[in-house]
Chain A
Amino acid sequence: MESVERIESLASRPEVQVLANPGHSLVLEQVIHRFGEMVALKDINLEIRPGEFISLLGPSGCGKTTLLRIIAGFLKPSAGQISIDGQPVVNLSPNQRGVGIVFQNYALFPHMSVWDNVAYGLRAKRLSNVNVNTKVGEMLDLVQLGHLAKRYPSELSGGQQQRVAIARALAVGPKLMLLDEPFSALDKNLRLDMQIEIRRLLSAQGVTAVLVTHDQEEAMSMSDRIAVMSQGEIHQFDSPTQIYDQPKTRFVTTFVGTCNLLPAQIVGRDGADVLVQVAGGRLLVQSASLPSEQDLLLAIRPEHLRIQLQPGAHRLSGTVELCLPLGSFMVYEVRIDAATKLKVTQPRSPGVSPLEAGTEIYLELVSPQACSLFPAQA
């Protein structure tokens, strides 16, 4: 019941006022950062278009927070160039950059009311009282918190605090909005609401935004493009669907979504079609890029395998070991040889009983493109 009401209340909110903010571009060129001997960022290049919402996605320690701090101006990169709208900003201090930040813990000033928090940046700009009051009122209306203006942050819920943080950052009209894991402190249901709301707010304002997160679902659902990072490098900078369907490196494949990795050898090719030998049989695949190495890994997502009961060309034989019904789909664990098990998800339809453990089955790819090949040596 509650969640239905919440969705309705989201839907019934007045359309957010569209401001004439054309958005600003952000370009990072060859940004390198070292902490002593440790190289935290190796040659980061990113071009973010005006008004775009991008995510820096990666495990903890991949350098995404360092990169965020560099963009905000709290860290000076060891080398490289950063420009906003074509203007270099590396030598500007954080308070001169016009970059808004929403922190993981929101970092609201605890001794100021909601109103004063939102007014802080406007007063720092030395706006007249009348202008400050108008703008704060506007911002609080935007995040639907006008009625809580006199409250203190400690009297607000997590979601409300977050909306204050957004209003505070947006009030000064930042060129760029940085979001540092802003949803991790919210519970799951509220998180989804806030993701939708923030995405809507930022697009309506035309603000270019960079989200730092380790949560791939969050990155997938919110971003125009995702930069997947690991060990100080950007592995792939692409749209969410491209990242998922055509991962460029083995890291991206395994970090984003679930993936089966099979040792594979190329045994024949015909144009773009490649025949690969893996445990349990041979598969016909089409891979965008073909590594030149002999020992390869074939990466297949669980939902890109189809279970067949009859043997056939380009099918792998296996035995069902385990079957887990997970709501709308079934997860099977299929053994294809002594050392190799594959995860396979199949849509579950009512009335169809799941395959029992021990059933002999055959696996085929849903399409020859639904897999990727990588060199076995990382």
Chain B
Amino acid sequence: MKASQLFSPKEWQLALPLAFFLHLFYVAPLAILLASSFQQAPGVAGVSLAQYGNFFGDAVNRDVLVDTFILGVQVTLACLIFGYPVAYIYARAVGIWKTILTFLILLPLLTSAVVRTFGWVVILGKQGLVNSALLGLGVLQEPVKLLFTHHGVAIAMTQIQLPLMILPIVASISQIDSRLLAASASLGGGAWRTFWKVVFPLTLPGVISGCLLVFALTVSSFVTPSIIGGGQIMYMPTLIYQQAVVLLNGPFAAAISAILLVMVLTVVIGLSVLSQRSRAYIR
């Protein structure tokens, strides 16, 4: 009997190592986390909804949840508005321009989020680039406060997440058959109509994937909100960090994590349903 006959794995068996890894280091910790969120206090046995009650009972916590959701939506929309045109130009670019654009789009991904965030601290500060420019032009008399504000966080997050919006849209634009555009033109459709009636609907799966990625990563990001927010404005991840690491309240941190998880999952599932629908007719 040959060695290959002794060891001829079925296709599903090839996925076993990854499945093992994910169960051990992802599913199991998640289960433990969820379980501990139902503890009444650290080390106390029994099942209780006390932690969730604490969270929703406090207006400060509810505000953090709402702020986080709003940040996610704002950053997602901003990425879509800025990212779509870039993706459109990129998908139609040829030759050297494509190479240059690839570099420009991917460059942020190749830099650490910490480095990029400190870049934004320099730009958004009181004597930063934005304020100096606006003061210099006479648009402002007083420097505007951007650092340590919600808007500052949203601006920085938009730049940091932008590639994750652009890439899926590029993929879906380049899948569009150029003959569809030709057909639209031959039927009398101008550039505007062709874009809104043909190109945009056909790129919806890409738009939805991009929104999913940007939203999920924005509401769960920690570094940028902490640095740009300067500890003065709270989002769910910073709250979790505070409870788990600073205040050592494990069960409460677990409950906040579970709530964040549910929020992300709700949006993910909602968008996935939309995506399934938009994909159904695009073959």
Chain A residues engaging chain B, CB cutoff 8 angstroms: 72-74, 93-101, 103, 105, 107-111, 120-121, 124-125, 152, 154, 168-169, 172
* Residues of B with C-beta under 8 A to A93: 185
* Residues of B with C-beta under 8 A to A120: 184, 187, 189, 197
In the bound complex, do residue B187 and residue A121 qualify as a contact, i.e. CB atoms below 8 Å apart?
yes
* Residues of A with C-beta under 8 A to B58: none
Residue among A107, A111, A125, A152 making CB contact with B183, cutoff 8 Å: A107
In the bound complex, do residue A101 and residue B281 qualify as a contact, i.e. CB atoms below 8 Å apart?
no
Closest 9 CB pairs of A and B: A121-B187, A94-B185, A107-B179, A107-B183, A124-B188, A101-B186, A124-B189, A95-B185, A154-B283
In the bound complex, do residue A124 and residue B190 qualify as a contact, i.e. CB atoms below 8 Å apart?
yes
Q: Is B180 an interface residue (CB 8 A)?
A: yes
* Residues of B with C-beta under 8 A to A108: 183
* Residues of B with C-beta under 8 A to A121: 187-189
In the bound complex, do residue B189 and residue A95 qualify as a contact, i.e. CB atoms below 8 Å apart?
yes
* Residues of B with C-beta under 8 A to A98: 188
Q: Is B201 an interface residue (CB 8 A)?
A: yes
Query: What are 11 A-B residue pairs whose CB atoms fall within 8 Å in the complex?
Result: A74-B185, A100-B187, A101-B186, A107-B180, A107-B182, A109-B197, A110-B283, A121-B188, A124-B184, A169-B186, A169-B187
* A95-B188, A107-B177, A124-B189 as given contacts; A101 in contact with B202, CB under 8 Å: no
Whole-angstrom distance from the CB of A90 to the nearest CB of chain B? 16
Given contacts A120-B184, A168-B183, 15 further A-B contacts (CB under 8 A): A74-B185, A93-B185, A95-B185, A97-B186, A107-B179, A108-B183, A109-B183, A111-B201, A111-B281, A120-B187, A124-B184, A124-B187, A125-B188, A154-B281, A168-B187
Give A100 to B186 CA distance when docked, in angstroms: 6
Q: Is B265 an interface residue (CB 8 A)?
A: no
In the bound complex, do residue A105 and residue B187 qualify as a contact, i.e. CB atoms below 8 Å apart?
no
Residue among A94, A124, A154, A168 making CB contact with B193, cutoff 8 Å: A124
Give A101 to B186 CA distance when docked, in angstroms: 7
* Residues of A with C-beta under 8 A to B223: none
Q: Is B198 an interface residue (CB 8 A)?
A: yes
Give A172 to B187 CA distance when docked, in angstroms: 7
Whole-angstrom distance from the CB of A114 to the nearest CB of chain B? 12
Give A313 to B281 CA distance when docked, in angstroms: 71
In the bound complex, do residue B187 and residue A72 qualify as a contact, i.e. CB atoms below 8 Å apart?
no
* A109-B198, A110-B202, A124-B187 as given contacts; A94 in contact with B281, CB under 8 Å: no
In the bound complex, do residue B186 and residue A72 qualify as a contact, i.e. CB atoms below 8 Å apart?
yes
In the bound complex, do residue B182 and residue A105 qualify as a contact, i.e. CB atoms below 8 Å apart?
no
Q: Is B282 an interface residue (CB 8 A)?
A: yes
* Residues of B with C-beta under 8 A to A105: 177, 179
Give A121 to B186 CA distance when docked, in angstroms: 8
Closest residue of chain A to B190 (Cβ to Cβ) is A95
User: Per DSSP, are chain B's interface residues mostly helix, strand or loop, or mixed?
Assistant: helix
Give A154 to B281 CA distance when docked, in angstroms: 7
* A109-B198, A111-B282 as given contacts; A101 in contact with B183, CB under 8 Å: yes
* Residues of A with C-beta under 8 A to B201: 111
Give A168 to B282 CA distance when docked, in angstroms: 19
Residue-wise interface mask of B (193-207) relative to A, using a CB-CB cutoff of 8 A (1 in contact, 0 not)? 100011001100000
* Residues of A with C-beta under 8 A to B283: 110, 154
Closest residue of chain B to A116 (Cβ to Cβ) is B197
Whole-angstrom distance from the CB of A210 to the nearest CB of chain B? 13
Give A125 to B187 CA distance when docked, in angstroms: 9
Closest residue of chain A to B204 (Cβ to Cβ) is A111
In the bound complex, do residue B282 and residue A110 qualify as a contact, i.e. CB atoms below 8 Å apart?
yes
In the bound complex, do residue A74 and residue B282 qualify as a contact, i.e. CB atoms below 8 Å apart?
no
* Residues of A with C-beta under 8 A to B198: 109
Give A99 to B182 CA distance when docked, in angstroms: 11
* A95-B189, A120-B189 as given contacts; A72 in contact with B182, CB under 8 Å: yes
* Residues of B with C-beta under 8 A to A95: 184-190
* Residues of A with C-beta under 8 A to B180: 107, 109
Interface residues of B in 149-206 (CB under 8 A from A): 177, 179-180, 182-190, 193, 197-198, 201-202
Give A97 to B198 CA distance when docked, in angstroms: 20
* Residues of A with C-beta under 8 A to B184: 95, 109, 120, 124
Give A168 to B184 CA distance when docked, in angstroms: 10
Give A120 to B197 CA distance when docked, in angstroms: 9
Give A105 to B282 CA distance when docked, in angstroms: 15
Whole-angstrom distance from the CB of B132 to the nearest CB of chain A? 46
Whole-angstrom distance from the CB of B191 to the nearest CB of chain A? 9
* Residues of B with C-beta under 8 A to A168: 183, 187
Whole-angstrom distance from the CB of B62 to the nearest CB of chain A? 40
Closest residue of chain B to A119 (Cβ to Cβ) is B187
In the bound complex, do residue A172 and residue B202 qualify as a contact, i.e. CB atoms below 8 Å apart?
no
Whole-angstrom distance from the CB of B214 to the nearest CB of chain A? 24
Whole-angstrom distance from the CB of A101 to the nearest CB of chain B? 4
Whole-angstrom distance from the CB of B19 to the nearest CB of chain A? 34
* Residues of B with C-beta under 8 A to A124: 184, 187-190, 193
* A105-B179, A152-B281, A154-B283 as given contacts; A111 in contact with B186, CB under 8 Å: no
Give A101 to B182 CA distance when docked, in angstroms: 9
Whole-angstrom distance from the CB of B181 to the nearest CB of chain A? 9
Give A152 to B190 CA distance when docked, in angstroms: 24
Give A44 to B281 CA distance when docked, in angstroms: 42
Interface residues of B in 242-283 (CB under 8 A from A): 278, 281-283
* Residues of A with C-beta under 8 A to B281: 110-111, 152, 154
Give A98 to B183 CA distance when docked, in angstroms: 12
* Residues of A with C-beta under 8 A to B278: 111
Of A74, A94, A96, A100, which is in contact with the most chain B CB atoms at under 10 Å from its CB? Answer: A94
Closest residue of chain A to B184 (Cβ to Cβ) is A120
* Residues of B with C-beta under 8 A to A152: 281
In the bound complex, do residue A103 and residue B182 qualify as a contact, i.e. CB atoms below 8 Å apart?
yes
* Residues of A with C-beta under 8 A to B197: 109, 120
Whole-angstrom distance from the CB of A232 to the nearest CB of chain B? 22
Closest residue of chain B to A96 (Cβ to Cβ) is B188
Closest residue of chain A to B198 (Cβ to Cβ) is A109
Of B184, B186, B193, which is in contact with the most chain A CB atoms at under 10 Å from its CB? Answer: B186
